[in-house]
Homo-oligomer: A and B are copies of this chain.
Amino acid sequence: MQQPEDRASASRQHEGNADIYDEDGVIRASFLAHIGAAIADRDVLALKKDLADLHQSELGDLLEALLPDQRRALVHLLGEDFDFAALTEVDDSIRQEIVDQLPNAQIAQAVQELDSDDAVYILEDLDEDDQEEILSQLPFTERIRLRRALDYPEETAGRRMQTEFVAVPPFWTVGQTIDYLREDQNLPDRFAQIFVIDPTFRLLGAIDLDMILRTKRAEKIEDIMHETRHAIPATMDQEEAAQEFEQYDLLSAAVVDENDRLVGVLTIDDVVDVIQQEAEEDIMRLGGVGDEELSDSVLATSRSRVPWLLVNLVTAFLAASVIGLFDATIEQIVALAVLMPIVAGMGGNAGSQTMTVTVRALATKDLDIYNAGRIIRREMGVGFINGIIFALLVGTVAGLWFEVHIGFIIAAAMIINLFVAALAGILIPLLLDRFGADPAVASAVFVTAVTDVVGFFAFLGLAAWWFGVG
């Protein structure tokens, strides 16, 4: 195992080599071919030299670009020189594949050189037995630290925190603190804050590093520390922790256990990943896609998408049965069948506009009880105005295409459906949110069901009544 000092300087040298990417940010074909050839030649020296300068994220991108056989061979050839931190940068299934290939002893060796948050990220996906075997091969303190983080539930601050941090007592001076930092060999690789604790590890405050640097040596720590109002409970959901970082522009925050004792530090780079991931989840859910990954197989992908399509199938049959009510009318006036998808489709589009805005505003907490009333009124207004605009357009075209009565009927149906679409687009996500369901997951089905049913019923029903058929 390397000394922390060496680790720090080693990781600092891995500044990366952006030359491996082309202008579009894709790994250069020439670089990939070069590495591929070295793998084929089993040229370990060349590989170590070429990959030595890569940042962990660059090595991650390279692993993703290689063919599975090349990937396996590369990890095998690099042996102990393979930078495990790269595994935090690749798809879950690729990480799984690489970790499965390696003996537990080598993994145990490797995770000791990682920051604890990276080590937890890799260990948490292993099955219980492998996890235990690896943990049992670690030195005592390392084992305790990782187990503490792994004991917190998934997606909490405790899981994402780094258990290495710098903490000093309040009665030290700035000078003592700087001397301690110069001497101590067990500092984390990087840190942006120093925490102040009492002898029982209870958190008293924090100091940003720039504050230490601009203060005279004789000053007391307790006089320059600020109370940390933003300490994060270890059990806090990672999304909530991320919102705390965003709102207060934090760079790092203390993580405390239920007794207010400092157990770790959450840093902004982890939070950036969480923010990215949560936005991603919302996009995927709105599109009717679950937690799938690009590296998933055909069968896994199909399996994850069928449930959503099934739910939609039910609403599609519901809409079809509404049309079925008016089959006699359609038999007489076939123009209705030609035009009816326009009414339903425009309603669906207008509804999903409102729904997208609502779901997003709920996620970012921009929509709350103080403006919900105003937003509902606004959406009703927009639905009504857009209803009139598209009633005029569609009514005119349909009147010219078929006959003037059909033009009036479709115009009336458009106004009704676009107004209902606006209402459904805002009320359905609000209600789902109120009842604790995730509005991003379920809103689209309900909104489409409403706009289809109302669209078909309004258009065909008006026609049946007006023409007196069916």
Contact = CB atoms under 8 A, between A and B. Distances in A.
Interface of A: 12-13, 15-18, 24-27, 29, 32, 55, 57-58, 64-65, 91, 178, 181-182, 184, 187, 190-192, 208-216, 226-227, 229-230, 243, 245-249, 251, 268-269, 271-273, 275-276, 279-280, 282-284, 286-289, 292, 294, 296-299, 301-302, 305-306, 308-309, 312-313, 316-317, 319-321, 323-324, 327, 330-331, 334-335, 337-342, 344-346, 349-350, 352-353, 355-357, 360-361, 364-371, 375, 378-379, 381-382, 385-386, 389-390, 393-394, 397, 448, 452, 456
Given A32-B370, A309-B349, A213 B178 contact: yes
B213 A288 contact: no
A308 B386 CA distance: 11
Contacts of A282: 283
B209 A356 contact: no
A187 B213 CA distance: 11
A189 to B, nearest CB: 9
B342 A305 contact: no
Contacts of A297: 378
A312 to B, nearest CB: 5
Given A215-B182, A251-B268, A341-B320, A352 B288 contact: yes
Contacts of A178: 178, 213
Contacts of A319: 341-342, 345
Contacts of A286: 283, 286-287, 356
Contacts of A181: 210, 213-214
A357 B292 contact: yes
**Chain A binding surface SS class:** helix
Contacts of A251: 192, 251, 268-269
12 contacts: A26-B368, A182-B216, A209-B209, A268-B269, A283-B356, A287-B353, A296-B378, A298-B382, A309-B353, A317-B342, A317-B397, A319-B341
Contact of A208 (B184, B190, B312, B390): B190
A260 to B, nearest CB: 16
A447 B87 CA distance: 35
